[in-house]
């Protein structure tokens, strides 16, 4: 009896030791990102946490490097015809989906077709498309009706709706229907998802990375950990405590009021992230009085001080914000200070004079002011005080954030549930490009909420769309900013950054406007 018990104990000890060894042998990166993941179809949402996980699972034909230039990713070689209408592509050798099947041109074509049905730039390509056809098992051709310099940028789009390549049988899923499986060809494969708990991927051992060093989303995507667990921790304080205790390895965004805790821990490293940060914007409703008057909109530009907003948001953390004149982000490829004087050098007396010149009659400004989020509550208070100081009659309508997001779609008068003004923020990955920046189309009813309607801005946006060189695009973007600031499609109120923090056992973070988890190595 003793012998049997001893053998059982010995076997259990050996098993326990083996499990312990296996656990130590496998490197697991545990991260906490903001929010939760509710769905995983990259064409149903621009949700950032979902998109960042999608980049681990699915690969792209092209990708943006750290200079925001597109580079081949799944594509090996490509040629462009002299008339710039025919593009021939060949895929890299050895590309496999996570189910072991090879990536073919049929998969690429089905993925492109699905993407063109949703993405705005994809739709522009579709309007100019003559042929999309396979020329071999791993080669394909795009023939356009006319030259279009944005084609490669579309195939390598970084944000909004990136073109992820899926198996054809999955890519043929109609948009709006649930994807039957999360199968890609990226450096990690999907293994587990418990909404509200965790999302898990594992290293895809048959993935062949490119030879170039990683550069933003381009270059070699090397999985240096065996498993990534995205842990959902709703409470910020609990998340920071978990990091301090070593229960998680990485937090993408540390609350500003808890930065001292993180910065004082010798086992942690922190850095401003993501690249380009975020932009704070004031949005005006062009379709309703009083902001259907351009001079009154310009008076708002003169009334608001970026420094007041940024200092209120970040206090002494001066390293986490900058006063920025560029509507396409400071540090981005289209940075310029053209026609930014009114909001970069605000002047109360000039604002009052412009209001008088415009004949402002005291029409109330209905400001949508969420109070259930500190960012909105504090920034909104600064805004209301500044506008009242120059003579605006502000109706400070307080509500929760969800109500604001719903009400801002109402095009009626304020008495009909409409609005005059709200504030919001977008990440630099969206704001940096005229084709993803939501404010600069001038497309009237089809424009982003606020509905600026301007033929000249529409023409300048189209000139950017059709520009066929980086130099031409830069020139076109400057002209867009000039006109956008003139008619006041929105008012930028500063550029700011979050801080990520991680255990010093991690290394290899890639500089990017997105959260990138390949190339991260964890010391055992």
- Kindly report, residue by residue over 371-382, the tens digit of the pLDDT: 988 899 999 999
- Kindly report, residue by residue over 224-233, the tens digit of the pLDDT: 999 999 999 9
356-362 contact pairs (CB < 8 A, 24+) = 357/295, 358/293, 358/295, 358/296, 358/299, 359/293, 360/290, 360/293, 360/296, 360/299, 360/391, 360/392, 361/290, 362/393
CATH number at residue 357: 3.10.105.10
Compute the distance between CA of residue 266 and CA of residue 328 in angstroms, rounded to an integer: 37
Q: Are residues 481 and 512 in the same domain?
A: no
- Other Cβ atoms within 10 Å of 160 Cβ, number: 18
Residue 109 has pLDDT above 50, yes or no: yes
- Other Cβ atoms within 10 Å of 327 Cβ, number: 30
Q: Are residues 222 and 340 in the same domain?
A: no
Q: Are residues 291 and 359 in the same domain?
A: yes
- Kindly report, residue by residue over 246-273, the tens digit of the pLDDT: 999 999 999 888 999 999 999 999 999 8
Chain-centroid distance, C-alpha 364: 34
Give the dihedral sign, CA 54/427/425/176: negative
Q: Are residues 493 and 515 in the same domain?
A: no
Q: Are residues 285 and 343 in the same domain?
A: yes
pLDDT band at 446 (very low <50, low <70, confident <90, very high): very high
Percent of the chain with pLDDT over 90: 88
Average pLDDT, rounded, for the chain: 93
Residue 19 has pLDDT above 50, yes or no: no
- Kindly report, residue by residue over 23-53, the tens digit of the pLDDT: 446 899 999 998 888 899 999 988 888 999 9
Compute the distance between CA of residue 427 and CA of residue 279 in angstroms, rounded to an integer: 6
Q: Are residues 95 and 165 in the same domain?
A: yes
Average pLDDT over residues 184-197: 96
Average pLDDT over residues 392-414: 95
Residue 163 forms part of a structural domain = yes
Compute the distance between CA of residue 399 and CA of residue 283 in angstroms, rounded to an integer: 17
Residue 475 has pLDDT above 90, yes or no: yes
Contact 391, 355 (CB under 8 A): yes
Domain span at residue 365 reads: 277-497
Contact 306, 494 (CB under 8 A): yes
> For residues 188 and 235, which has the higher predicted lDDT (pLDDT)?
188
Residue 16 has pLDDT above 70, yes or no: no
Average pLDDT over residues 163-167: 98
Written as six digits, the tokens of 474 are 């830069």
Phi, psi for 380 (deg, rounded to 5): -65, -40
Residue 6 has pLDDT above 70, yes or no: no
Written as six digits, the tokens of 489 are 């499609």
The whole-number pLDDT of residue 25 equals 66
Residue 111 has pLDDT above 80, yes or no: yes
pLDDT band at 7 (very low <50, low <70, confident <90, very high): very low
Q: Are residues 305 and 373 in the same domain?
A: yes
Residue 330 has pLDDT above 90, yes or no: yes
Q: Are residues 192 and 330 in the same domain?
A: no
The whole-number pLDDT of residue 400 equals 94
Residue 387 forms part of a structural domain = yes
CATH number at residue 182: 3.40.190.10
By three-state DSSP, how is residue 281 classified?
strand
pLDDT band at 275 (very low <50, low <70, confident <90, very high): confident
Residue 496 has pLDDT above 60, yes or no: yes
Residue 287 has pLDDT above 70, yes or no: yes
Residue 100 forms part of a structural domain = yes
> Whole-model pTM?
0.88
Residue 96 forms part of a structural domain = yes
Buried b (16+ CB within 10 A) or exposed e, 272-289: ebbbbbbbbbbbbbbbbb
- Kindly report, residue by residue over 170-184, the tens digit of the pLDDT: 999 999 899 999 999
User: For the chain, give me the number of helices (H) and strands (E)?
Assistant: 17, 19
Residue 7 forms part of a structural domain = no
Average pLDDT over residues 416-433: 95
Q: Are residues 466 and 319 in the same domain?
A: yes
The helix or strand, by DSSP H or E, that contains position 306, with its residue range, turns out to be helix 306-314
Written as six digits, the tokens of 367 are 């400001």
The whole-number pLDDT of residue 14 equals 34
Residue 185 has pLDDT above 90, yes or no: yes
Residue 8 has pLDDT above 80, yes or no: no
Count of domains for the chain: 2
Residue 4 has pLDDT above 80, yes or no: no
Q: Are residues 212 and 137 in the same domain?
A: yes
Q: Are residues 81 and 214 in the same domain?
A: yes
Q: Are residues 472 and 517 in the same domain?
A: no
Residue 379 forms part of a structural domain = yes
Residue 416 forms part of a structural domain = yes
Q: Which residues contact 227 (CB under 8 A, 6 or more apart)?
A: 26, 27, 28, 29, 200, 201, 202, 203
Average pLDDT over residues 241-250: 97
Residue 244 forms part of a structural domain = no
């Amino acid at each position: 009896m003793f012998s049997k018990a001893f053998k059982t104990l010995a076997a259990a000890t050996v098993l326990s030791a083996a499990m312990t060894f296996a656990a130590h042998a496998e490197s697991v990166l545990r991260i906490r990102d903001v929010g939760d993941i509710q769905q995983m179809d990259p064409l149903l949402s621009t949700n950032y946490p979902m998109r960042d996980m999608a980049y681990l699972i699915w690969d792209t034909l092209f990708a943006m490097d750290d200079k925001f230039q597109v580079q081949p990713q799944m594509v090996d070689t490509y040629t462009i015809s002299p008339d710039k209408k025919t593009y021939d592509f060949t895929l890299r050798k050895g590309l496999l989906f996570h189910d072991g099947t090879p990536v073919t041109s049929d998969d690429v074509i089905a993925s492109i077709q699905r993407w063109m049905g949703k993405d705005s730039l994809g739709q522009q390509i579709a309007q100019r498309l003559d042929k999309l056809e396979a020329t071999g098992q791993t080669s394909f051709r795009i023939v356009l009706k006319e030259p279009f310099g944005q084609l490669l940028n579309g195939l390598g789009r970084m944000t909004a709706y990136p073109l992820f390549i899926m198996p054809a049988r999955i890519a043929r899923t109609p948009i709006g229907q649930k994807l039957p499986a999360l199968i890609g060809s990226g450096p990690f494969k999907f293994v587990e998802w418990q909404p509200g708990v965790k999302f898990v991927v594992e290293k895809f051992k048959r993935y062949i990375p490119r030879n170039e060093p990683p550069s933003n989303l381009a270059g070699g995507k090397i999985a240096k950990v065996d498993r990534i667990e995205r842990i959902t921790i709703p409470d910020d304080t609990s998340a920071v405590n978990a990091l301090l205790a070593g229960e998680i390895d990485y937090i993408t965004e540390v609350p500003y009021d808890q930065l001292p805790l993180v910065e004082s821990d010798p086992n942690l490293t922190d850095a401003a992230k993501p690249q380009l940060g975020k932009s704070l914007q004031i949005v005006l409703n062009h379709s309703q009085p009083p902001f259907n008057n351009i001079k009154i909109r310009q008076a708002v530009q003169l009334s608001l001080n970026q420094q007041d907003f940024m200092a209120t948001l970040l206090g002494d953390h001066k390293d986490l914000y900058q006063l920025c004149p560029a509507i396409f982000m400071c540090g981005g490829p289209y940075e310029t200070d053209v026609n930014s004087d009114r909001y970069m050098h605000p002047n109360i007396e000039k604002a009052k004079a412009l209001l008088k010149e415009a004949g402002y009659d005291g029409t109330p400004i209905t400001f949508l002011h969420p109070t259930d989020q500190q960012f909105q509550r504090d920034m909104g208070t600064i805004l209301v005080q500044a506008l009242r100081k120059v003579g605006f009659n502000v109706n400070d309508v307080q509500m929760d954030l969800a109500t604001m997001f719903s009400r801002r779609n109402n095009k009626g008068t304020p008495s009909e549930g409409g609005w005059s003004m709200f504030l919001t923020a977008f990440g630099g990955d969206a704001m940096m490009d005229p084709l993803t920046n939501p404010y600069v189309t001038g497309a009237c009813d089809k424009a982003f909420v606020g509905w600026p309607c301007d033929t000249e801005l529409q023409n300048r946006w189209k000139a950017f769309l059709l520009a066929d060189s980086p130099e031409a695009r830069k020139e076109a973007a400057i002209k867009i900013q000039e006109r956008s600031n003139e008619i006041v499609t929105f008012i930028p109120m500063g550029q700011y950054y979050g801080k990520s923090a991680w255990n010093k056992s991690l290394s290899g973070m890639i500089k990017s406007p997105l959260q990138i988890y390949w190339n991260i190595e964890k010391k055992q």
